[in-house]
């Protein structure tokens, strides 16, 4: 921001071989020449509500990227982001509905139980 009375630290400048000035940057002690990307640490188990939110956010981001690719644009508008969020909500709701329909039929043992878990035979 503002350099009031020299309060801001000054950046160091170094000269590279071509003779141009560049801001000083620390040179790494060793350069990694391995072409593999660094391994990500194993993700910690998230609470279900956080995991659902993370999945929705990832889906929304993927949908936004798809919208941008289809339109051939490099910048998103607020409308694009809201549309991607709405699409993610609809897709996740459909997934929940399909998962609910594909649940196995109740077994005879579970059919004999009332809502509070007490079996009808012992009532």
31-45 pLDDT, tens digit each = 556 666 667 666 678
pLDDT tens sequence across 67-85 = 999 999 999 999 999 999 9
Task: Name all contacts of 77-84 with Cβ < 8 Å and 24+ positions apart.
Answer: 84/60
pTM of the shown model: 0.47
Stated as kind and residue range, the H or E segment containing 56 is: helix 48-71
């Amino acid at each position: 921001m503002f350099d009031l009375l020299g309060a801001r630290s000054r950046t160091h400048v170094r000269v590279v071989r071509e003779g141009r000035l560049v801001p000083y940057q620390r040179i790494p002690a060793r350069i990694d020449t391995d072409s593999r990307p660094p391994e990500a640490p194993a993700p910690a188990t998230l609470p279900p509500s956080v995991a659902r939110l993370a999945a929705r956010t990832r889906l929304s981001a993927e949908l936004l990227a798809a919208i941008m690719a289809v339109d051939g644009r490099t910048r998103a508008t607020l409308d694009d982001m809201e549309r991607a969020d709405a699409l993610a909500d609809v897709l996740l709701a459909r997934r929940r509905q399909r998962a609910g329909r594909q649940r196995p039929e109740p077994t005879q043992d579970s059919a004999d139980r009332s809502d509070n878990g007490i079996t009808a035979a012992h009532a």
